């Protein structure tokens, strides 16, 4: 949603049912606010200590390097308010940081790192043009009803 709380008409994210490292690097489709991790299966994990951009992506990629996969749901679980001054709003800076992160992936040949980055860039551009498929009234009704039922 935008800063005023209106659902934006574009920007729908499709997610894969099963997501491994290669597909993640092409799409970066994991939203940190919707992740659940079973501590019985992955007891010891933490976000990187250094407070740089993309700590979440670095954690997901670290877990995937260890052989873990993520499973996605194509359901609306959160609404994210987009602020003009947020770190993630600057797509050029995000792309720069993603490229830097991919170039540090020494386990992959350079051509694969670049291939994944160009897929990431294309996917990011394409998803921002995709209609959101959200009906504003229905979204607010569902979120309001859920919030009201918790009280």
pLDDT digits (tens, 9 = 90+) for 87-119: 566 778 888 988 998 998 888 999 999 999 999
User: Under the phi-then-psi rule, with left for phi > 0, alpha for psi from -120 to 50, and beta for the rest, what region is 2?
Assistant: beta
Q: Using 50, 70 and 90 to split pLDDT, how confident is the model at 151?
A: very low
Contact by Cβ (8 Å): 8, 82: yes
């Amino acid at each position: 949603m935008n800063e005023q709380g209106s659902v934006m008409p574009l920007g729908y994210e499709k997610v894969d049912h099963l997501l491994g490292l290669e597909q993640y690097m092409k799409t970066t489709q994991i939203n940190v606010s919707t992740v659940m991790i079973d501590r019985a299966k992955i007891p010891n994990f933490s976000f990187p200590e250094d407070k740089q951009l993309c700590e979440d992506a670095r954690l997901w990629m670290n877990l995937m390097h260890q052989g873990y996969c993520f499973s996605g749901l194509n359901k609306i679980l959160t609404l994210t308010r987009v602020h003009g001054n947020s770190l993630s709003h600057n797509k050029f800076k995000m792309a720069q940081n993603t490229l830097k992160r991919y170039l540090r992936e020494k386990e992959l040949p350079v051509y694969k790192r670049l291939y994944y980055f160009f897929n990431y860039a294309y996917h990011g551009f394409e998803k921002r043009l995709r209609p959101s498929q959200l009906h504003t009234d229905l979204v607010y009704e569902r979120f309001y009803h859920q919030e009201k039922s918790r009280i």
